[in-house]
Amino acid sequence: MKDFQKLVYEIEEFNNELHEKDFLLTWEKSVDDLKIILNVASALAYLRNSNMATRVFDSGIAVSQFRDNSTRTRFSFAKAANLLGLSVCDLDEEKSQIAHGETVRETANMISFMAEVIGIRDDMYIGSGNTYMREVADALKNGHMEGVLQQKPAVVNLQCDIDHPTQSMSDLLHLKNHFGSLENLKGKKIAMTWAYSPSYGKPLSVPQGIIGLMTRFGMDVTLAHPEGYNLLPECMEVAKKNAAESGGSFEQVSSMDEAFKDADIVYPKSWASFTVMQTRTDLLKRSDQEGLKELEKACLAQNARHKDWECNEKKMNLTKNKDALYMHCLPADITGISCAEGEVSEDVFEKYRVQTYKEAGYKPYIIAAMILASRIKNPAEVLYNLAKNGKNRILE
């Protein structure tokens, strides 16, 4: 309870600008806002683990719109909504009027009656995903102003072409707990590196999210990838700016070994270059199946030239004390398990498997915190009252 009280007290001390706001990019939020999300998430986890009810809403819905496949984030959103007392309604575009030309403005308003939040995943199209989320948010704002909607639901980015804020915030909470505090992250080196995968077209949003967030907290962030696997230039500029402001650092190298050297944390993950994703976007919009097949063939051949970009024991021995924390958003391409050759060797993944599962386990609480902070003006007071009421989640 002492730790819980400290979390709530800190929430009250931070400058809160989250109420009635969307959560689309971490670098649009202040450091105080990010700390509030971390604390609310931790407080909700404490309450649930203490068998205390966390229903903030007696009724209401959370709308999920997944325009790409998902396991962890889809289930995390559903769990977050349930944790707060909301029911989930999934927008399946194939079963909606969207396929018949319904406008974004109309769809956004029609799905939002009695909705508290809309979670959107749209990561397939460079230049479109985050733009689509903002179009939905603007439609909701106008719908509320025009009296169509009794309230404006919050829009939460469940992954787009630019950022994956629920993932990177979960990663940050994992690091905070692993190293003891956010303060202890200052000066820690995290290597965000490309890794070989026998598939192509993986989004850029995870590495972009990591370099854009960890540089906010004084970390020394090193980005590594082979030639041709560049991230979005604007995200690189965000990382440089954040590092300069926080007292951390941001550098780019072309060697996985160099990135791993003396690293405290490693995050080896495959992604496609933004130029490839731009080409893929154009082909998808034109439904050019032959073009997509040719692009995939060329990209897989390019990937195959970098099979040595695997996180293995030899590379882990380059890290600080030969024991850096391994991280991954999952699912990882595990050599000899999920593929013949992949991002990480079986022995390294197995050593850190439980840690990566715990890393993933923070996401429902992070999403719940984003929802609660956007809908509730004083989250500290609500959390305090939930603890004070002490209603059991499981009746015994």
Q: Note the pLDDT of residue 391.
A: 92
Given a contact cutoff of 8 angstroms between Cβ atoms, the answer to whether 227 and 254 are in contact is: yes
Q: Note the pLDDT of residue 100.
A: 67
pLDDT digits 0-9 by tens, 116-164: 999 999 998 888 999 999 999 999 999 999 999 999 999 999 999 999 9
Quickly tell me which residue has 């993950």 as its tokens: 269
Q: How far apart are CA 137 and CA 33, in angstroms?
A: 19
Q: How far apart are CA 217 and CA 237, in angstroms?
A: 16
Instruction: Report the C-alpha dihedral over residues 89, 90, 95, 100, rounded to 10 degrees.
Output: 90
Nearest-CA neighbor of 194 among 137, 150, 151, 255?
Answer: 255
CA distances from 146 to 133, 139, 140, 150, 152 (A): 20, 10, 10, 10, 11
Structural domains of the chain, ranges and CATH numbers in brackets: 2-163+363-389 (3.40.50.1370), 167-360 (3.40.50.1370)
The proportion of the chain whose per-residue pLDDT surpasses 70, expressed as a percent, equals 99
pLDDT digits 0-9 by tens, 85-117: 999 999 988 777 776 678 999 999 999 999 999
Nearest-CA neighbor of 45 among 387, 388, 395?
Answer: 387
pLDDT digits 0-9 by tens, 296-353: 999 999 999 999 999 999 999 999 999 999 999 999 999 999 999 999 999 999 999 9
Q: Note the pLDDT of residue 99.
A: 64
Q: Note the pLDDT of residue 206.
A: 98
pLDDT digits 0-9 by tens, 242-285: 999 999 999 999 999 999 999 999 999 999 987 888 898 899 88
For the record, the structure tokens of 306 come out as 């970098």
For the record, the structure tokens of 144 come out as 């509320």
pLDDT, average across residues 166-181: 98
Quickly tell me which residue has 């990561």 as its tokens: 123
pLDDT digits 0-9 by tens, 43-57: 999 999 999 999 999
DSSP structural state of residue 170: H
Q: Note the pLDDT of residue 200.
A: 84
Q: Is the pTM of this model over 0.85?
A: yes
DSSP string, 63-97: EEEESS--SHHHHHHHHHHHHHTPEEEE--GGGSG
Q: Note the pLDDT of residue 95.
A: 73
The proportion of the chain whose per-residue pLDDT surpasses 90, expressed as a percent, equals 90
The per-residue pLDDT of the chain, averaged, comes to 95
Residue 77 CA to chain centroid, in angstroms? Answer: 11
Given a contact cutoff of 8 angstroms between Cβ atoms, the answer to whether 38 and 94 are in contact is: no
